[in-house]
Homo-oligomer: A and B are copies of this chain.
Amino acid sequence: MAQEIERKFLVIGDDWRSLATPVPIRQGYLSTVKERTVRVRTLGDRGYLTIKGLTVGAVRSEFEYEIPAADAHQLLDELCERPLIEKTRSAIAIGGLTWEVDAFSGVNDGLIIAEVELEDEAQQIDLPDWIGEEVTDDPRYFNANLIAHPYTEW
């Protein structure tokens, strides 16, 4: 079980691109029911299966297992709900924080989002120049909605 506090922002320009090497991600879902989501993901040459329950208070139970990448690709190709989410992730460490910049392709091509995980909700953070509008609470950017209503269709 893990408790996550994240803030999410749009990204401006290309200055972030030189700061990290992007890793390709493919992800899809075997269940998008919110009481029991089951996600399949490949991250570079590794594969993962992640199960999440309902958020109760500030806590959401999460179970993650590494699986063979070939299995993950087959699950994504043959079993997961459509469309898949395809993006690259660049992990950029600045000022004690790690920004994860996700540049989407496929049905969400053109969308670039930066996420940062915090210790608590009140934590002060310095925003790099390439960080734009905050979209933490905008449901259009939730993963489930990027499948149901992809960015290229907005």
Known A30-B38, A31-B31, A38-B31; judge A53-B71 contact (CB<8 A).
no
Residue with the highest number of chain B CB atoms closer than 10 Å, among A63, A74, A80: A63
Measured CA separation A127–B142 after assembly (Å): 55
* Interface mask (A65-80 → B, CB under 8 Å = 1, otherwise 0): 1010001001100111
Q: How many monomers of this chain does the complex have?
A: 2
A35 at the interface (CB under 8 A from B): yes
Inter-subunit contact B36/A53 (CB<8 Å): no
Inter-subunit contact A63/B53 (CB<8 Å): no
Residues of chain A having any CB pair with chain B under 8 Å: 30-31, 33, 35-36, 38, 49, 51, 53, 61, 63, 65, 67, 71, 74-75, 78-81
